[in-house]
Amino acid sequence: MDALELARWQFGITTVYHFVLVPLTLGLSILVAVMQTAWVRTGKEKWLRLTKFYGKLLLINFALGVATGIVQEFQFGMNWSEYSRYVGDIFGAPLAMEALIAFFLESTFLGLWIFGWDRLSKKVHLTVVWLFAIGTNLSAYFIIAANSWMQHPVGTAYNPKTGRAEMKNIWEVLGNNTTLLAFPHVITTAFLVAGGFIAGIGAFWLVKKSRANKDDVDIPLYRTAVRMGAAVMIIAGVGVIFTGDLQGKLMFKQQPIKMAAAEGLINTETSAGFSLLAVGNLAGDDPASVKHLISIPGLTSWMATGDSNATVKGINELQTEYATKYDPNATYRPNLAVTYWSFRLMIGFAAFAAATALAGLWLTRKGKITNQTWFSKLAVWSIGAPFLGASLGWIFTEMGRQPFVVAPNPSAFVDGVDPVYLLTEHGVSKAVSTFEVGLTMVVFTLIYAILGVFWYRLMVRYAQEGAPQVTEPVVGGDDDPLSFAY
Amino acid sequence: MDLAVFWFILIGVLWTGYLVLEGFDFGVGMLMPIVGKTPKGKRVLLNTIGPVWDGNEVWLLTAGGAMFAAFPEWYATLFSGFYLPLFLILLALITRAVAIEYRSKINDEKWRNRWDLAIIISSWIPSILWGVAFANIVRGVPIDQTGTYTGGFFNLLNPFALLGGLVTLGIFLSHGSIFIALKTKGDVHDRGAAWAKKFSIAAVVVGAVWALWLQVAYSNNTWTWGALVVAALGLIGAAWFSWTGKFGLAFIANVVAVVGAVTLIFGALFPNVMPSSTNPDFNLLVHSVVGVHGLVASSSHTTLVVMTWVAGIFTPIVLAYQAWAYWVFKRRLSEDMLPEHNELTFAKSA
């Protein structure tokens, strides 16, 4: 492998790892804030216990999310310095805004939340958790705005004098229609993840408690968790489908070759079907060998345009089109196997999670509780499904953009003017040797793996302990013992 | 004033904020064995920074993000050029973040001791390497006409840079022990106060030698003598007040020293952001100057205007709520204020 491939692997590994943790933090921070709000408003102890229980799991997750996030910001400069030179004038802005507007907010108020139970009044402490949750979700907006610009550069023009893409209008960058759909898609996904997490752990405990003693006092608490989590999943699931559909339609216009690859659509077709199973050399060397064994007629055309009879361009035609507009020597076909399967599995995992949520709501309808072990097992296993779906979604988005690191904006193309785009191979650092990228990739992967083991053990351990007993927090004096300490 | 110059100054301010705030965080981490000493003492130390360390570290992310946004060429050359030192810093920051948060999640002596060791090592590494990095920036490194660093790893390990590493190390140790003396009561306070006397003197000695070397050998401007004097007075003040037991003033003096030192470094660089030791015509520049050759590192005017608005609106807000967080946790901690360990163990409870 050369430095380019190693740098790509490194980005893939560190980003997927980071983004396994992030959606849980995004969704759970808001949902824990909701739990604490319910406690402050109703005074019911079960809400305080749920806040502390899921809050602790949130903190374990957050710590590793923050730690792995630091690498993300510096990796552009370290491994992708030529990319950074090309896009910095425009791409650096949302990154700096993310730090200044979102990261400060989330980390400062998280510290106040963790250590502030005995320092702040109930209402101020509640405000603090909301500011933390808002900061966390704001950070998602800025980083998605940055990513969406790589998918669909707007508000920019190439400056031949400086040889880079330069900002023309920040509002176009922040209001990119790609961002406006990607952000709600990511946030609804985050709620699917967090809802599944709350419901899955709640179901484990609900079934365990009701099998041991169906009058256990903790049962209402866990039933609440299951129903809250499942309801969030259903609402979020609908949002995921809705935003995903709109995103797909937009992407057929903005990055047609990515979507053609996702569908394994080699030749331009009218009334193109949605393939459920394809064989052949999907890895991309031989598109002619791709055969679709099962497909739903007209669905791809419908997904692309809303009309099942529409014509959708295939990879071969798009390759010719791209070669005339952009670099004539490049191959513009993304990896077919990765895009085709990640797209399908993303949808499959999300659907699976939503089905479990429906089962959970059904089993706990009208005040019922369940003692079915199949359900608790299913619910626990389902915790992983939206995580996988989210990761596959990002793998699809990023791999489908290849060979570009900044995909060209087709609607901004004017013949005779240099368009803003960059091939991934031109973005890699020149100062860094293959050995250096290889070394950092191996060490990052190792240390992430080790820390991941601790993360998993702590998550499982705290989930297995169940909701803690709590005492009403009181604001203490300056010489009182700390209510919480490391 | 040219906006690029304004952003050059603002990035200096962001780095100052980072070095001041995470400086004492690192100091506290490094001092765990000698000032913390006992299990309870170590816990006291960790809890002095517990609520604030994460917010402190965001100053680094903001400084990095601001360099990317305002000086993409600087960001690109620096981060790809200083590859391995930055990699080690990142490894340390990752480990440290997780160690601080995870060490108290399991009630087990061995578990805690291992994470403590991780905190200590991962506080030492960046304390030295940030100094090495800044010293190399100001000294100049091999950069070609495309802005690409061509020096390799060992080029970064020159005597001036290594002494720079000792300077940040010395200042952070002094800063950390003064912070501890300020934030704790009882035995921990006494040990912090005793070490503050030694480290503050050490910081004056290494700091003075390095600053003079910098000014004489590498500064582009004579006015930075002024910054040097401010930095020196700050360090001397920190030592003086440590010896007289006035740790609030000692802390402020160290802040003044960091402000002076960053002003010295940035002032010495100007109008470069990163000089090239290969050929002065390849210097990375803050902005274009008539008659000066080099590669302009700054962003376009449009971008700088946007970022100026953003920084102008949000920086005061951030400062206000971070100050409030310090106010909320202003009380001094002591060993007898720690609650008993009531965390879980890996063995299942009944």
Q: Judge whether B60 and B20 are in contact, CB under 8 Å.
A: no
Taking residues B97-109, what's their average pLDDT?
Answer: 94
What is the H or E stretch that residue A209 is in?
helix A177-212
Residue type, A225: A
Q: What chain B residue is nearest to A92 in terms of C-alpha separation? A: B69
Q: Judge whether A218 and A184 are in contact, CB under 8 Å.
A: no
Close Cβ partners of A215 (under 8 Å, ≥ 6 residues apart): none
Q: Judge whether B8 and B266 are in contact, CB under 8 Å.
A: yes
Q: Is the pLDDT of residue B349 over 70?
A: no
- How does pLDDT run across A214-258, given as a tens digit for each residue? 889 999 999 999 999 999 999 999 999 999 999 999 999 999 999
Taking residues A417-429, what's their average pLDDT?
Answer: 94
Close Cβ partners of A324 (under 8 Å, ≥ 6 residues apart): none
Q: Judge whether B184 and B332 are in contact, CB under 8 Å.
A: yes
Contacts A91 to B, Cβ<8 Å: 68
> What is the pLDDT at residue A289?
76
* B294 reaches A (C-beta below 8 A): no
Task: For chain A, report the end-to-end CA distance as a whole number of angstroms.
Answer: 44
Interface of A with B in 460-479 (CB under 8 A): 461-462, 464-465, 478-479
Contacts B105 to A, Cβ<8 Å: 60, 458, 462
Out of A63, A85, A107, whose CB is closest to B98?
A63
Neighbours of B334 (CB within 10 A): 18
The β-bridge relationship of strands A404-406 and B272-274 is unpaired
| Cβ contact, residue pair B64, A99, below 8 Å | yes
Task: For chain B, report the end-to-end CA distance as a whole number of angstroms.
Answer: 69
Out of A99, A430, A484, whose CB is closest to B62?
A99
* A422 reaches B (C-beta below 8 A): no
Place of tokens 């030694």: B198
Taking residues A22-35, what's their average pLDDT?
Answer: 97
| Cβ contact, residue pair A457, B346, below 8 Å | yes
Q: What chain A residue is nearest to B144 in terms of C-alpha separation? A: A431
- How does pLDDT run across A98-139, given as a tens digit for each residue? 999 999 999 999 999 999 999 999 999 999 999 999 999 999
Taking residues A424-447, what's their average pLDDT?
Answer: 95
Taking residues B94-106, what's their average pLDDT?
Answer: 95
d(CA A307, CA A305): 5
* B39 reaches A (C-beta below 8 A): no
Close Cβ partners of B62 (under 8 Å, ≥ 6 residues apart): A96, A99, A100, A103, A104, B14
d(CA A171, CA B309): 13
Interface of A with B in 53-72 (CB under 8 A): 59-60, 62-64, 66-68, 70-71
Q: What chain A residue is nearest to B96 in terms of C-alpha separation? A: A67
Q: Give how far Cα A401 sits from Cα of A257, A348, A352, A480, Å.
A: 8, 22, 27, 57
> What is the pLDDT at residue B179?
97
d(CA A19, CA A59): 16
pLDDT band at A285 (very low <50, low <70, confident <90, very high): low
A319: left (phi over 0), alpha (psi -120 to 50) or beta: alpha
Contacts B91 to A, Cβ<8 Å: 443-444, 447
Least confident range of A292-301, B231-240, B243-252: A292-301
| Cβ contact, residue pair A465, B102, below 8 Å | no
Taking residues A173-193, what's their average pLDDT?
Answer: 96
* B308 reaches A (C-beta below 8 A): no
Q: Is the pLDDT of residue B146 over 80?
A: yes
Q: Judge whether A286 and A292 are in contact, CB under 8 Å.
A: no
d(CA B305, CA B6): 11
pLDDT band at A295 (very low <50, low <70, confident <90, very high): confident
* Whether this model's pTM surpasses 0.80: yes
Place of tokens 């005074």: A43
Percent of chain A with pLDDT over 90: 79
> What is the pLDDT at residue A371?
85
| Cβ contact, residue pair A461, B43, below 8 Å | no
What is the H or E stretch that residue B342 is in?
none
> What is the pLDDT at residue A278?
79
Q: Judge whether A312 and A264 are in contact, CB under 8 Å.
A: no
d(CA B70, CA B73): 9
Q: Judge whether A78 and B79 are in contact, CB under 8 Å.
A: yes
B291: left (phi over 0), alpha (psi -120 to 50) or beta: left
Q: Give how far Cα A364 sits from Cα of A51, A203, A226, A228, A235, Å.
A: 21, 10, 8, 11, 17
Residue type, A384: G
Contacts A92 to B, Cβ<8 Å: 65, 67-70, 72, 75, 299, 303
Out of B57, B76, B91, whose CB is closest to A84?
B76
> What is the pLDDT at residue A369?
82
With vertex at residue A14, the alpha carbon angle to CA A11 and CA A17, rounded to the nearest 5 degrees, is 135
* B217 reaches A (C-beta below 8 A): no
d(CA A173, CA B302): 13
ipTM: 0.95
The β-bridge relationship of strands B295-296 and B284-285 is parallel
- Report the mean per-residue pLDDT for chain A: 93
* B318 reaches A (C-beta below 8 A): yes
Taking residues B30-39, what's their average pLDDT?
Answer: 95
pLDDT band at A1 (very low <50, low <70, confident <90, very high): confident
Q: Cα A474 vs. chain centroid, distance in angstroms?
A: 37
Least confident range of A141-145, A183-187, A271-275, B33-37: A271-275
Contacts B80 to A, Cβ<8 Å: 77-79, 81, 429-432
pLDDT band at B18 (very low <50, low <70, confident <90, very high): very high
Place of tokens 């961002």: A179
d(CA A366, CA A363): 9
| Cβ contact, residue pair B310, A96, below 8 Å | yes
d(CA A476, CA A482): 8
Using the CB atoms, write b or e for B49-59: b if 16+ within 10 Å.
bbbbbbbbbbb
Q: Is the pLDDT of residue A283 over 70?
A: no
| Cβ contact, residue pair B69, A111, below 8 Å | no
Contacts B51 to A, Cβ<8 Å: 111-112, 114-116
Q: Output DSSP code: residue A430.
A: S
The β-bridge relationship of strands A422-423 and B272-274 is unpaired
Taking residues B123-135, what's their average pLDDT?
Answer: 97
Q: Judge whether B81 and A431 are in contact, CB under 8 Å.
A: yes
Neighbours of A200 (CB within 10 A): 28
Out of B81, B97, B146, whose CB is closest to A66?
B97
Out of A68, A107, A159, whose CB is closest to B94?
A68
Q: What chain B residue is nearest to A95 in terms of C-alpha separation? A: B65
Helix ranges (H only) for B184-223 are: 186-218
Out of B80, B105, B349, whose CB is closest to A81?
B80
Contacts A168 to B, Cβ<8 Å: 302
